[in-house]
Amino acid sequence: MPLTPDAERYRKELFEAARAELLKQRELRRSELRQNLHDIDEAAKRAGYAGVLQQPDIDYAVAVSNAAKDALCKAYEWDGKDLTEGIVMGIEADVLAVLKQSLAAMLGSEKGRLELKARRIGASDPSASMKLDALSRHLQRTICDTQKSIHSELTLRMLDVKKARTRRKNGMTVKELSSRIEAFRSCLVEHRELFIQSLDRYLPDYPKQNVATLRQQQDNLARQLGMLRPYIDSFDFPSIMSMAGVQWDVYDSAISNDVAIRKGESIDGVLQQLQKMLGRLESMDSESQFEPANKQRGMPQNVTIHQHGAQSRVNLNSTDHSHNVLTTMEQSVFSQVRAALENAVTDEAVLKEILAKLDDFEGVAHRPGALEKFQAFVNNTASYMTLIAPFFPALLKMVGGN
Sign of CA dihedral 322, 326, 328, 332: negative
Which phi and psi (to 5°) does residue 383 adopt?
-80, -5
How far is it between the farthest Cα atoms of the chain? Answer: 107
Q: Which of 243-257, 263-277, 298-312 has the lowest mean pLDDT?
A: 298-312
- Cα 272-238-331 angle, rounded to 5 deg: 70
Mean pLDDT for the chain? 80
* Banded pLDDT at 21 (limits 50, 70, 90): very high
Element (H, E) at 279: helix 260-282
Residue 321: predicted pLDDT: 43
Give the separation between CA 289 and CA 124, rounded to whole angstroms. Answer: 72
What are the residues facing 326 on neighbouring strands?
Answer: none
Write the pLDDT tens digit of every residue in 175-203. Answer: 989 999 999 999 999 999 999 898 877 66
Average pLDDT estimate for 61-73: 92
Q: How many CB atoms lie under 10 A from the CB of residue 31?
A: 10
Q: Which residue has the higher pLDDT, 125 or 78?
A: 78
Q: Are 282 and 262 in contact (CB under 8 A)?
A: no
* Banded pLDDT at 252 (limits 50, 70, 90): very high
Give the separation between CA 394 and CA 4, rounded to whole angstroms. Answer: 42
Residues across the chain:
402
Q: Which of 44-48, 233-237, 324-328, 370-374 has the lowest mean pLDDT?
A: 44-48
Q: Report the predicted TM-score, pTM, of the whole model to 2 decimal places.
A: 0.42
Average pLDDT estimate for 128-151: 87
In angstroms, how far is the first alpha carbon of the chain from the final one? 57
Give the separation between CA 10 and CA 327, rounded to whole angstroms. Answer: 42
Element (H, E) at 382: none
Residue 303: predicted pLDDT: 41
Write the pLDDT tens digit of every residue in 77-124. Answer: 888 888 888 888 999 999 999 899 888 888 888 788 778 878 888 877
Tell me: pLDDT of 302 over 50. no
Cα distances from 172 to residues 36, 102, 163, 277, 370, in angstroms, run 58, 42, 11, 15, 57
